[in-house]
Amino acid sequence: MPTLSAGTAVARAVPPADPGPLTRSGFFKRGINIDLLELGSIQAIGRGGTASGLLLGIGPEFDLGPRAAIRVALQFGFAAKTSASTWDQTQASSFFDLVLAPGFFYRFRYQQDQRWVPYLGGAVDLGLFQFGRELLGLEPSPAGTSQAFVRLGLAPQLLGGVVYCPTRIFSLRLAAGDTYFLVASKSLHVLSESVSARFSF
């Protein structure tokens, strides 16, 4: 007949400790997160083809609660067709932006020390944009004039990804996004994939 030792009986009688309410993230549970460097790639997809390039970013994120957060990122992106052999051709197939991107995010966070935290959200890119005419599917400009045009404006962006949190103070944010533009009655999508090193307090 199986027997129970005194230690086993006591262990079964004591319920597991209550982890308490879910708080904001970070080492001090203040929900202050700083992405020191965001590095990734972008693909600008228009009626005239696809251009590929580089994305750089930096910015803080602040918890509104245990799950919701706002982020204000400063981002730079540049893309062009690698087959372009002259400056005019590169300019005609290029995309460039320098933006401030405030956004709102919801994190699927249920434990204080959750290792993988998926999230979804959206942002608005506010800043300076350059669009190549060939990339948009427009006719070339007359010889001797620029094959791209520059605009100040805004564009909606959908974002999603996962935060890998090996410790409370350091994490890696893996992100993917899609920014939509309507330029000269032509649609352009800019896809992005990036990783950033984050410190949380």
Contact status, residue 171 vs residue 163, Cβ threshold 8 Å:
yes
Mean pLDDT of 20-36: 93
Whole-number Å distance between alpha carbons of 162 and 174: 5
Domains of the chain, earliest start first: 23-200 (2.40.160.20)
Query: 45 φ, ψ to 5°?
Result: -120, 115
Question: From the CB of residue 190, how many other CB atoms can be counted at a distance below 10 Å?
Answer: 25
DSSP secondary structure code for residue 138 in this structure: P
Which among 151, 152, 148, 126 is positioned nearest to 135, based on CA atoms? 148
Query: 61 φ, ψ to 5°?
Result: -135, 135
Angle, CA 53 vertex, CA 84 and CA 195 arms, to 5°: 165
pLDDT band at 22 (very low <50, low <70, confident <90, very high): very high
Ramachandran assignment for 127, one of left (phi > 0), alpha (psi -120 to 50 degrees), beta (any other): left
Give the DSSP per-residue string, 139-199: PPPPTTS-SEEEEEEEEEEEEEEEEE-SSSSEEEEEEEEEEEEEETTEEEEEEEEEEEEEE
pLDDT for 105-158, tens place per residue?
Answer: 999 999 999 999 999 999 999 999 999 999 999 988 887 778 888 999 999 999
C-alpha distances in Å from residue 8, one per residue of 4, 11, 12: 6, 5, 6
pLDDT for 74-86, tens place per residue?
Answer: 999 999 987 655 6
pLDDT band at 179 (very low <50, low <70, confident <90, very high): very high
- For residue 17, the model assigns a pLDDT of 55
